[in-house]
Amino acid sequence: MSEPKFIEDREKLVKLAPVADAPIRHHVFVCNGKSCAAVGSADVKKAFEEQLEKQNLRYGKASKGRNPEGEILLTDCGSVGFCSIGTAVLVYPENVWYAQVRESDVSEIIEKHLLKGEIVERLALIGGNRDK
């Protein structure tokens, strides 16, 4: 097995990941683990992709139809570990977990939460520990 190669040049590292210096307001994770995939996570992710890109909100390379100045970073991820709530969608920095998200819910999450900062309470898992 070959030795892992690490980049020592910090400037080079920064150039390889311009997202670290981007004006990101929200990072949205869509779980695509096995259980979430079984309840339609691919459709949820696709709806986020299409709607964010149509509104020019999605951060990313222009060559991929995204906006280098976009304020929303969209990432799919492996199981977040609570597989009965799928499709799980997590929004940071607020640390809001949305459960049982369907394709038809995506526009509401974008319009209310990502654009207006209002949590979509009917989908959010919010217990009583936030104010403690």
Does residue number 34 form part of the binding site for ligand FES (CB under 6 A)? Answer: yes
61-80 residues in contact with ligand FES (CB under 6 A) are 79-80
Q: Which of 67, 65, 61, 83 is nearest to 25 (CA)?
A: 67
Helix, strand, coil shares of the chain as percentages rounded to 5? 40, 15, 45
Q: What angle do CA 93, 42, 97 make, to 5 degrees?
A: 30
Q: Which is nearer to ligand FES, 72 or 85 (CB)?
A: 85
Does residue number 36 form part of the binding site for ligand FES (CB under 6 A)? Answer: yes
Contacts of residue 83, Cβ cutoff 8 Å, sequence gap at least 6:
33, 34, 35, 36
Q: Which of 41, 39, 38, 72 is nearest to 55 (CA)?
A: 72
Give the nearest residue (CB) to ligand FES: 33
Among 29, 33, 58, 114, binds ligand FES (CB under 6 A): 33
Does residue number 22 form part of the binding site for ligand FES (CB under 6 A)? Answer: no
C-beta of 48: minimal distance to ligand FES in Å? 15
Q: Which is nearer to ligand FES, 47 or 57 (CB)?
A: 47
Among 28, 31, 101, 109, binds ligand FES (CB under 6 A): 31
Contacts of residue 117, Cβ cutoff 8 Å, sequence gap at least 6:
none
Q: In the complex, which residues of this chain contact ligand FES (CB under 6 A)?
A: 31, 33-36, 79-83, 86, 88
